[in-house]
Structure 1
Amino acid sequence: MINMRIVLITSGQPSTNPRIVKEADSLSEAGFQVTLIYAYWTAWATYHDEMLLKNKSWKAIRVGGDPLHQKWTYLFSRLFFRISRLYASFLPTKYAQARSTAFLIKEAKALKADLYIAHNLGALPAAFEAAKKHNSLFGFDAEDFHRQETNTTVLSREYLTKKQLEDKYLPKTAQLTTSSPQIAALYKTLYPQLHPVTLLNTFQRSLIPAEPRDTADLPVKLFWFSQTIGSNRGLENIIQSLGLLPKDSFELHLMGKVNPEYQASLYKQADDANIPYTKIKIHDVVAPEDIFRIAQQFDIGIASEPGFSVNNENALSNKFFTYLQCGLVMIASDTVAQKSFFEQHTTIGKLYQKDNSLHLSEVIQSYIADLEALNNTKKNNYMLGQELVNWETEHKKFITCIRQTLIEK
């Protein structure tokens, strides 16, 4: 299968999607010719993309313009997207999910490949149309359960648009991969003829700098990160729980983009909980490869998913595995997916009842009061990440899945 060509497609940017970068790396290492087609999503990721892509062995093509260098293309794409959403009942649904879909379709169809893999619904029509043109195969990587990513009703426009896209394209895929067993099961229920393969959102062992440091004294440092610091992420519950703890026993470190209004709201909640502002430290986003070095400065990672949607209940996030592989103690809300993972790996930390700030404070306090248990768990998690829960494990499943798909062709 040397020299077989695979095109990965996303309506986002590489720096916002570690999963697609890992897959491109894995495919290239396995001997495939890889091209990634992507589109501008946010300004902060553009610089990080440049740093990320300059040393890659695979090719990346950005389409659809951007606000700085291809302003008119970008503005046209936004106008077209707005019209497509507004008149979704009269225009093709494929244009109503992402600003860049039309550009992704054009570029993908221009590239002849043996397999096209879409990484979100905005890219799915491009993978399908390119595969149809070149008599090739296409697949889909479902990092989320898309039709219920948010808490919208089954009668909402968002739900119906996503459902139409999934119902039209997913039954025709040659392969389907997902990011959790629970999301795989949800799609299997919808499309029994498909055989989803789960690839966890883990990372390469080489990205983890070293064993975690021992914590000798207080404060215990708590860490939470995402691309965005905002609502529907369980942060309010964390703040309330910390208000029940001795103020000299902890620090909370948050990393991500945050708008001034939400930051003010967060500090207001901290003030109401009698938490000094100095105990809450906000950090800007960093390059994807730097997150592991930074994470290892902390003691406990909080995976605070509130379960606000079907997808949120069933997803296993990038942050979840970053915490574990970096050797942080895992404290996680009891969503369906996180609870299931904890049941398989009982020594990685503790679950708490989501929306129960008292229970969360008790879980955090149990580690504040027992630094030996904290340090032992950190070491155990680091070793679990080195030996089993890592991208090297998922890489094997991924490449096997790809080869099986191409063999069946």
Structure 2
Amino acid sequence: MAKICLITPGHPSKNPRLVKEADALTEAGYDVDVIAGNYHPWGHKADRQYRGRSWTLQRVPYGAMASPLRRTYSGGRKRAAELLSRWLPGEIRAVNLRAQHWVIPELTARAVSVSADLFIAHYLPAVPAALRAAERHGAKVGFDAEDFHRGQFHDGEWDTPKARRTRWFEETYLPQCDYVSAASPGIAAAYADELGIEEPTTILNVFPRSERSERTPPDELREEHPGCGISLHWYSQTIGPDRGLEMVVRAMGQMQDRSEDIPRLTLSLRGGWADGYESTLRSLAHSVGLEDTQIRHLTRTPPDQLIERAAQHDIGLALEQAKSRNRDLCITNKIFAYLLAGLPVVATSTKGQRFVHQHAPDAVRLCSVEDVDEVANQLLQWVRDTTDRKKAAAAACRVAENRFSWDVEKETLLSTVRSTLE
């Protein structure tokens, strides 16, 4: 059976999509290596959970996990390249590679050392490493676009050096790949249109059914729910601004003002606080009449526990803000996590989330971006009506079982890999 090498600049524990891909490929009989960056103490510790997997993990240290000398060297190299890229005319490959990310040369060297039949890059900094390794070993190359990277910049950032480098990366490297996959139909269509490439294959960022249970210590699971009332659940790696959280806090205040007989509402947030944001959000909560205990912080957890933990709450929140084109097109994994957990979902009406709503209209309610009144109205119906909320939860389970499941979606990945290798 063929050998496949997956490459990412980040931790596997911070990229569940890559882990699902590695698991699916090994289950299908492929010999799989994963080359991953290793830069954060939390991620370094969390990556230990993959020691028993059938695929091997090779880590490339940088940042906090590198030696002081290596950290100084790679940081200085990146800063120097960024300065050069501002002043040198034209696009110089060696400068752009070093300016784009700290560890591209090291990822490339490690990838070249692996003999594989197919190299699959996750995130743009991994693509040159995959292409160089494939050239050395006469292999194929795939790129998985979890985001529409040029669409991550706001209008005022379009002509910044980083935005120009991102477009250069896409235009230089993506057309060289033997296939490109994308995490949403919108991202796939945008890349086909912008780069003139064949439309990427959509592989949704869904989860396997097996993650519904027996992943979390029972004593920790019992502590997930606040214990009374309705728990509104939201998670991400970072709890910060422009994620719709201010909107839901204001909506909670409105709901309490409009209806005295509703159950107690708690906003349960999982992730790490952005600098200064906790005090900002709690100040807002106090200003709209919420108690401090109604904003509840849950610490980060291993990715394979997210579904089981989410299932202990009552309503999932996917309040993406269309601040950039990418945020409008993408479908974050949280909405799929909620559905598999059996949670009704209140989601903003971005293009990506409208696609999910079309397939799960009974489980997902849409509201306009930044419309606090509409968020309050949508939530209030499920908060007040337990029967309706249970029906929506059942609909979430059905669509996760039959459509939005990795057990279904991984077949698209395996078909793409087989046809590429053939």
Q: Deviations over 1:135-186 (max 9, x none)?
A: 2211110000001213253212221110000000111110000000000000
**Which residue type is aligned with residue 124 of structure 2?**
L
Contact 1:325 1:382 in 2 (8 A): yes
Q: Which residue is equivalent to 1:122?
A: 125
Structure 2 residue 150 is the aligned partner of structure 1 residue 143 = no
Partner in structure 1 of residue 367 of structure 2: 352
Partner Cα distance (1:124, 1:232) in 2:
29
- Look up the equivalent residue of 1:401 and give its one-letter code: T
Alpha-carbon contact 2:39-2:61 (below 8 Å) kept: no
Q: Any idea what SS the aligned residue of 2:231 has?
A: strand
Specify the SS of the correspondent of 1:169: helix
Contact 2:360 2:396 in 1 (8 A): no
Mapped contact 1:145–1:183 kept (Cα < 8 A)? yes
Q: Provide the residue aligned with 1:405 in structure 2.
A: 420
CA shift for structure 1 position 65: 3.6
Aligned to 1:12: 10
- Aligned partner of 2:135 in structure 1 is 132
**Separation (CA, whole Å) in 1 of partners of 2:210 and 2:374:** 36
Amino acid at match of 1:184: A
Q: String of CA shifts for 1:349-405, please: whole Å, max 9, x gaps.
A: 210111011110111111112110101111221122123210011110000000001
1:117-140 CA-partner distances (Å, limit 9, x unpaired): 110011111011111122221111
**For each residue in 1:262-299, what CA deviation from the matched residue of structure 2 results, as whole angstroms up to 9, or x when unmatched?**
10101111111111111110111011111122101101
1:232 aligns with 2:242: yes
More helix by share: 2
Q: Distance in 2 between matches of 1:390 and 1:234?
A: 26
**Is 1:324 the counterpart of 2:339 in the alignment?**
yes
Give the superposition deviation at 1:25.
Answer: 0.6
Distance 1:376 1:70 in 2: 54
- Specify the code of the residue in structure 2 equivalent to 1:334: S
Deviations 1:207-263 (A, max 9, x none): 1129xx9x9x96221000000001121111111111101275311100000145110
The Cα offsets for residues 279-330 of structure 1, whole Å up to 9 and x where unpaired, read as: 1101110111111221011011000101110000000111110001100001
Matched, 1:64 2:61: yes
Contact persistence 2:78–2:102 (CA under 8 A) = yes
Letter in 1 for 2:81: S
Secondary structure of 1:67's aligned partner? helix
Q: 1:334, CA displacement in angstroms?
A: 0.4
Alignment of 1:273-292 (within 5 A): 273-292=288-307
Classify the secondary structure of the residue corresponding to 1:190: helix
Cα drift, residue 195 of structure 1: 3.2
Q: SS at 2:382's partner residue?
A: helix
Of the structure 1 ranges 119-128 and 201-210, higher mean CA displacement relative to structure 2 is found in 201-210
Q: CA deviation at 1:193?
A: 3.3
Runs of 5+ consecutive residues of structure 1 not aligned to the other structure: none
Aligned to 1:393: 408
Which of residues 171, 186, 189 in structure 1 aligns to 2:190? 186
How far did residue 44 of structure 1 move?
1.4
Contact 1:148/1:159 (<8 A) preserved: no
Q: Establish whether residue 170 from structure 1 lines up as the match of residue 174 from structure 2.
A: yes
Following the alignment from structure 1 to structure 2, what is the Cα–Cα distance between the partners of residues 66 and 85?
A: 17
Matched, 1:81 2:96: no
SS of residue matched to 2:64 = coil
TM-fit CA distance, 1:16: 0.4
> Match of 1:219?
229
Count of matched residue pairs: 400
Kindly provide the CA deviation profile for residues 47-85 of structure 1, in whole angstroms up to 9, marking residues without a partner as x: 11012x111111111113453563322332222222222
Distance 1:72 1:276 in 2: 48
Question: Aligned equivalents of 1:63 and 1:105: distance in 2?
Answer: 10
Cα RMSD, aligned residues only: 1.8
Q: Is the 8 A contact 2:268 2:296 kept in 1?
A: yes
TM-score by length of 1: 0.94
Aligned equivalents of 2:389 and 2:79: distance in 1?
50
DSSP 3-state at the match of 1:88 = helix
**Aligned equivalents of 1:41, 1:377: Cα separation in 2:** 41
> Counterparts of 1:119 and 1:204 in 2: how far apart (Å)?
20
Structure 1 range deviating more: 221-230 or 286-295: 286-295
Alpha carbons of structure 1 residues 47 and 218: separation in structure 2 relative to 1, 3 Å: closer
After TM superposition, give the deviation of residue 41 of structure 1 in Å: 3.5
2:199 matches 1:195? yes
